[in-house]
Amino acid sequence: MPGKKSLKKMEKTQDTEAPKEEKKKEKIVGSVDALHANSPELMDAMKKMKAITPPAVASQFNLKVSVAKKMLEELNAKGSIKLVAHTNNVRVYALPSKPS
């Protein structure tokens, strides 16, 4: 069996343990600055896009794809855009055509 630690070894272990507790950082989960769904900046950008997809919107506005998906689903529910085609992985939206 190992004997007792010397005072120097005990001090070293205490010195190395103390900074670990101070280095812990708080995690902020889900903090993303998202655009408002009906902002004119977003709608102008969508008018210029050929196909409105969550990855395209996410890359253009520096958002997470999940946030872009939620935003597009919200716009679809409001009627600002409509779902044109979808697969299990990707959904394609388009602006509704205005009656002439």
The verdict on residue 55 lying in a domain is yes
Region of residue 85 (phi > 0: left; psi between -120 and 50: alpha; otherwise: beta): beta
The verdict on residue 76 lying in a domain is yes
**Residue 32 pLDDT:** 47
- Domain coverage including residue 86: 40-94
**Residue 31 pLDDT:** 43
Pick the residue with more confidence: 54 or 21? Answer: 54
The predicted-structure confidence for 67-91, as pLDDT tens digits, reads as follows 889 889 989 998 889 999 999 888 9
**Residue 52 pLDDT:** 92
The predicted-structure confidence for 11-45, as pLDDT tens digits, reads as follows 877 766 545 555 555 654 444 455 666 678 888 88
Spell out a b/e string for 56-78, using b for 16 or more CB atoms within 10 Å of the CB, else e: bbbeebebeeebbbebbbebeee
Give Cα 9 to chain centroid, integer Å. 46
**Residue 96 pLDDT:** 84
**Residue 4 pLDDT:** 82
- Write the CATH number for 62: 1.10.10.10
The number of distinct structural domains making up the chain is 1
The verdict on residue 56 lying in a domain is yes
